Amino acid sequence: MEKKENGVDGKKSGRVVDGPTNPMVTPLLNDLYQFTMAYAYWKAGKQSERSVFDLYFRKNPFGGEYTIFAGLEECIKFLANFKLTDEEIDFVRDSLPGCEEAFCDYLRGLDCSDIEVHAISEGSVVFPKVPLLRIEGPVAVVHLLETPFLNLINYASLVATNAARHRFVAGKSKLLLEFGARRAQGPDGAISASKYCYLGGFDATSNVAAGKLFGIPLRGTHSHAFVSSFMSLDEIVDKKLRSSDGKSSCEDFVSLVQTSLTKIQNSSSSSGIFSETNKSELAAFTSYALAFPSAFLALVDTYDVMKSGIPNFCAVALALHELGYKAVGIRLDSGDLAYLSTEARKLFCAIERELKLQDFGKMIITASNDLNEETVDALNKQGHEVDAFGIGTNLVTCYAQAALGCVFKLVEINNQPRIK
Among residue numbers 33 through 72, which ones bind a copy of itself (CB under 8 A)? 33-37, 39-46, 49, 51, 53
188 touches a copy of itself (CB under 8 A): yes
Measured CA to CA, the distance from residue 319 to residue 293 in angstroms comes to: 10
Binding segment toward a copy of itself, per CB under 8 A, in 127-135, 164-172, 217-225, 250-258: 217-225
User: Using CB under 8 A, which residues numbered 77 to 96 contact a copy of itself?
Assistant: 88, 91-92, 95-96
237 touches a copy of itself (CB under 8 A): yes
Residues 6+ apart with CB under 8 A from 69: 120, 121, 122, 123, 124, 125, 126, 132, 153, 157, 160
Among 67, 81, 221, 368, binds a copy of itself (CB under 8 A): 221
Residues 6+ apart with CB under 8 A from 270: 264, 311, 314, 347, 350, 351
Among 11, 93, 183, 307, binds a copy of itself (CB under 8 A): 183
246 touches a copy of itself (CB under 8 A): no
Judged by CB under 8 A, the number of residues near a copy of itself is: 111
Q: In what helix (H) or strand (E) does residue 391 lie, and over which residues does it extend?
A: strand 388-391
Among 146, 333, 373, 385, binds a copy of itself (CB under 8 A): 146
Among 6, 81, 151, 312, binds a copy of itself (CB under 8 A): 151
Name the DSSP letter for residue 63.
G
Quick one: 56 or 179, whose CB is closer to a copy of itself?
179
Among 218, 250, 273, 378, binds a copy of itself (CB under 8 A): 218
Quick one: 37 or 355, whose CB is closer to a copy of itself?
37
Q: 82-99 burial, b if ≥16 CB within 10 A, otherwise e? A: bbbeeeebeebbeebeeb
Quick one: 333 or 384, whose CB is closer to a copy of itself?
333
Helix, strand, or coil here: 87?
A: helix
Helix, strand, or coil here: 381?
A: helix
> Per-residue contact track with a copy of itself, 275 to 314, x per CB under 8 A?
------------xx-xxxxxx------x------------
19 touches a copy of itself (CB under 8 A): no
The answer to whether residues 6 and 116 touch, using CB atoms and an 8 Å cutoff, is yes
Measured CA to CA, the distance from residue 181 to residue 140 in angstroms comes to: 37
402 touches a copy of itself (CB under 8 A): yes
Measured CA to CA, the distance from residue 217 to residue 198 in angstroms comes to: 9
214 touches a copy of itself (CB under 8 A): no
Angle at 48 between CA 137 and CA 23, to 5 degrees: 60
The answer to whether residues 125 and 68 touch, using CB atoms and an 8 Å cutoff, is yes
User: Using CB under 8 A, which residues numbered 359 to 398 contact a copy of itself?
Assistant: 393, 397-398
